[in-house]
A and B are shown apart, each in its own frame.
Chain A
Amino acid sequence: MSEDRWYTMNLTRRAQRLLVEDLPLEDALPTQMPVYVNSIVYLFGATVLSALVALIVTGAVMCLFGPGWYHGSRVGHFVNSLHFWSVQVFFAALVLHMVSKYMMAAWRDGRWKTWVVGALALGVAVFTGLTGFLAQTNWDSQWIAVQAKDALNALGVGAFFNTMNTGQVLTLHIVVLPLLLVLLVSVHLFFIRREGPVKPLERLGRHE
């Protein structure tokens, strides 16, 4: 086996190349930006990330005290309120982020992978939100569980995911789906930092 081929097949070596050549520190943690990065829309992504961090932190606190904590404790209810409003901020910022990136056609110049992974993250986020509503163990959970089951059963998903099985709902909401979401967001961020912000759409003449 030639040395070059050995290098190609060595996963550690390839990971080194990926980080050193594709994502040097100046790309990962930039200290300069193109001047066209000058709009509030560039903050929507950071807002989504901030809300996601708030969700993970408040969710972790609720996990520490158990799923019934917030029903009977004022502190617990406040932490639940923090979680609830973080969800609202998360989805508001996510919608703004997605719409603005669409309007910028941000998939140009080879950035389609960033777009696709972001869209997948949106799908996982919506499903995570659904399991959150189902995991509240209150009236909302009761009603949404019996309503959502029909939609999922019709699609065949109900054979594997039972909206009324609180144990399954809770483990999906606090472990499986957040892990998947964080993984997708990490890949999304990797692509963003590796590629840098896309150039503005080419300005055309009066008759564009």
Chain B
Amino acid sequence: MSKRTEAYFRGVPMKPYDLLKEVLIVFLVVAVVVVIVAAVRSSPDYPTIRGEDVANRQPVAFVETSANILAGNSGIQDYGPPYTPDRDNAQSLFGIAPANWFGVRYRIDPPQDFIIKPLTRLAILDADVATALQAYEAASPDQQQAWLDAYLPALDEATVANGEVDVPAGDYGPVPTLMNGMLSLGRAGLLEGALESSDRLPFTIDPTRSLLFFQDDVYASVAEKLDLLGDQWGISNETGRHPGAWWLWPYTFFYQVRPMSSSDNADLQVGAIMIGFFLVLLLAPFIPVINRLPRWLGVHRIIWRDWYARGDGSRRGTKS
């Protein structure tokens, strides 16, 4: 025993102890519990939502997503750093916007990256798409927007036939051909490959664009059915009847209360609150009141009840 330890424990009655035996027993108990629960309850593994799944099961939703991205309605369109240069859209708190500090790190142009580039690849295989793409790119931005503005509401009356989404007659220019081209990419299971094409191929370890493609309505509708939306305590839940990341309850809790529940800056506000809480936890020994609370709460009387029951001679302790 070191001089320091010896001095600290001077006068304190000691008892025999076997550290390794205790640790080994605890480990065996934990191992047995984990094996039994894993065998009985298994673990969640809800399958991924692929472009192919959406194209085949919800072709109108697929086309609507594609058309919205092309029309500039994507959630990423004006997101701000790290994807786009729209600094005014970054979340801020008291005028401070940490998202802007490091600028655009992963530049994304949704209409180009998510729609035009994949269609450019498809155009090599499909002459109709090639012609439509040429017509679309030759048109003025106003004309392109007019076609999309007419096409998007028409999707409310869309029908699906022969693997294509048909809309009532209207002035949509080449947009229907382009959108059915996107749908065919999806049905063929080629959407993700077309989105992730890069100079790193054949390695694809960064599916950022594929994940962002359906992040708005399609993912949200799936998440809602699984009780995973932010206002359903989101990330702290899990699919099926498995426990999720319940230790994040304090974090998700603040998304449920005002002003965060209705704020455009909720992520930054909740993040700031949690950083504050963590600092309080980290520095608890030095914060007045926080470092005295344990004495007032009195739970220590239960933990050390045997010690306190030993009588006056054993009541020595230290102040908090």
Contact = CB atoms under 8 A, between A and B. Distances in A.
Contacts of B241: none
Interface of B: 1-5, 8-9, 12-20, 22-23, 26-27, 29-31, 33-35, 37-39, 41-49, 81-82, 90-91, 98-99, 101-103, 105-106, 205-208, 211-212, 215, 219, 222-223, 226, 228, 230, 234-235, 238-239, 242-243, 245-248, 265, 267-268, 270-271, 278, 281-286, 291, 294-295, 297, 299-300, 303-304, 306-308, 310, 314-320
A205 B291 CA distance: 20
Contacts of B8: 109, 195-196, 199
Interface of A: 21-24, 26-27, 29-39, 41, 43, 46-47, 49-51, 53-54, 70-71, 77-78, 80-86, 88-89, 91, 94-95, 100, 102-105, 107-109, 112, 115-116, 119-120, 122-123, 126, 129-130, 133, 136-148, 150-151, 153-156, 158-160, 162, 164-168, 170, 194-196, 198-203, 208
Contact of B318 (A38, A102, A144, A198): A198
A62 to B, nearest CB: 12
A147 B17 contact: no
A148 B219 CA distance: 14
A49 B22 CA distance: 12
A193 B2 CA distance: 11
Contacts, number: 292
A165 B205 contact: yes
A77 B43 contact: yes
6 contacts: A35-B310, A85-B38, A85-B43, A116-B282, A142-B49, A201-B304
Contacts of A43: 22, 26
Contacts of A80: 43, 45
Contacts of A53: 27
Contacts of A164: 206-208, 211-212
B12 A143 contact: no
Contact of B239 (A39, A108, A139, A151): A139
B300 A46 contact: no
A130 B75 CA distance: 23
A27 B297 contact: no
A71 B48 CA distance: 11
Contacts of B320: 105, 108, 201
A108 B239 CA distance: 43
A155 to B, nearest CB: 5
